[in-house]
Amino acid sequence: MTFLKQHRTKITIISTGLLCLALGYFIGGNSPSKHHPHRQQWEEERSYNEKLQFISPLLECNGGQTVELKSFKSDIEKLANTLKAKSEITDLSVYFREMNNGLWFGINENTEFSPASLLKFPLMIAYLKEAEKNPKILDDTLTYTENENLYDKQNFKPEITLEIGTQYAVKDLVGRMIVHSDNSAQALLMKNATYFWQRPFVELEINPPGTEESENFMSVVEYARFFRVLYNASYINPQYSNLALGILSESKFKDGLAKGVPSDIAVAHKFGERTIDDIKQLHDCGIIYHPDNPYLLCIMTRGKDFNQLTNAIQQISQKVYSDVDSQKIKK
């Protein structure tokens, strides 16, 4: 996969943008609504998978930074600095990317954080990658036998939890891990994925957990790759790519990116939280399906209070959506 280059000529930016728009027009589908029908079976329950409405296969463009984008970045940077000055937020990183033309910017985009529950997303990708050659793995059943209460470690606790002694299908555990950010479901899936869970990290050239001395090893620009390869269906097949983003759009966490956009806009996202030596970290990253300009927004924060971090993510998300909606960012 070819990754971003920050500096391009104006001609290259324009020609690349036109090419991407053409591809998006002929290949891409309609922006998904936030409401999905529910049925019993995994594939049937997530019937949006038939329409592939969360992806634009083959659409991966690397744009530069136009005058409009630089102005937009300046606005978001001012807001981020204001939020830090008014609170106890010590670090705040932002990555924004237009999905139709590849235009992007970052604010402190190389600062590293502890990804925490963000790692549940690449674990889902790993299972779907494995399912391409072994579809039956999603129907395998695993028994939850752990006595350790992993839910006590979560500040944002899942609405439903696993029951000791109960068998769960892998596909059910994947759903719980993403939709409810269930730590126990993640732990059970990890034990069953010892030989393939690192695969997305290795193949996308992202350092996997455990290879760095510090718990802070993930940046917004690195984590964004997971969303990019699903949106353009370049890593797993279109059906599984669309399915993964659809599951992410069902997340029960509504206090971050999702709270900054209208309620009828689909947001395929994953949040993560971590406390290290009394320092809180809260992150939220995902694709916001604006009807005209879908975009990727990844925000990672560090500070002393989860409420302040949550508020910062909400305000930045709201500002970004407002500017995109007012067409300050041109196609």
* Strand locations in the chain (E): 89-98, 104-107, 141-143, 167-169, 267-276, 279-288, 295-303
Residue 54: helix, strand or coil by DSSP? Answer: coil
CB 2 within 8 A of CB 62: yes
Domain of residue 58 covers 10-325
Q: Is residue 217 part of a domain?
A: yes
Which of these, 80, 54, 46, 113, lies nearest to 320 by C-alpha position?
A: 80
- pLDDT tens, 73-115? 999 999 999 999 888 899 999 999 999 888 899 999 999 999 9
**Rg for the chain, CA atoms, rounded:** 19
- pLDDT tens, 104-157? 999 999 999 999 999 999 999 999 999 999 999 999 999 998 765 566 666 666
Query: Is the CA virtual torsion 305, 306, 309, 310 positive or negative?
Result: negative
* Other beta carbons less than 10 A from residue 240's beta carbon: 22
* Other beta carbons less than 10 A from residue 152's beta carbon: 8
Number of domains comprising the chain? 1
Q: Is residue 263 part of a domain?
A: yes
Out of 52-66, 161-175, 206-220, 245-259, least confident range: 52-66
Who wins on pLDDT, 232 or 153? Answer: 232
Q: Is residue 330 part of a domain?
A: no
What is the pLDDT, as a whole number, of residue 59?
56
Please provide residue 188's backbone torsions phi and psi, each rounded to the nearest 5 degrees: -70, -40
Q: Is residue 4 part of a domain?
A: no
Look up the pTM and report it: 0.84
pLDDT band at 58 (very low <50, low <70, confident <90, very high): low
* Other beta carbons less than 10 A from residue 25's beta carbon: 10
- Greatest mean pLDDT range, 34-48, 200-214, 220-234: 220-234
Q: Is residue 88 part of a domain?
A: yes
Q: Is residue 193 part of a domain?
A: yes
CATH number, residue 170: 3.40.710.10
Q: Is residue 5 part of a domain?
A: no
Q: Is residue 1 part of a domain?
A: no
